[in-house]
Structure 1
């Protein structure tokens, strides 16, 4: 939901673990270290493969990779803190 202020507001009852209820997400106040860590984590092996699995065009090769990699990707847990995600997935 985007109110007249142009800020994204998380509705009550959703994502309590991520952002407290009713707190707007202000994109101007993001931490540069967290942004860099998130960008780096997206390029690390397991997260990069998850992104390829959902973004590449479907082919027989991609189908087979998705089929054989479904279980490991289903159990993949990415921390909400980008610095922790980078530490976990990037050697």
Structure 2
């Protein structure tokens, strides 16, 4: 009597991790990728650069408005003293 066997292709080779056999329970665990120090430093540098650019832009806007206000005050002063 021959026993009937069912074979599923692709599942006959055990899973390997770095050349080592993995336990079946560990096969489906997803390892969370943790950022490296370089990733963190790059992220900080990008944020600091963005903040610096925003401060420069805001500074230019403030200077533009102050210049406009100064001209208005000077014109008002001229009209009052004339």
Q: Aligning the two structures, in what range does the TM-score lie when normalised by the shorter sequence? A: under 0.3
- Which structure would you say has the larger RCO, counting Cα contacts within 8 Å and 6 or more residues apart? 1
Larger Rg belongs to: 2
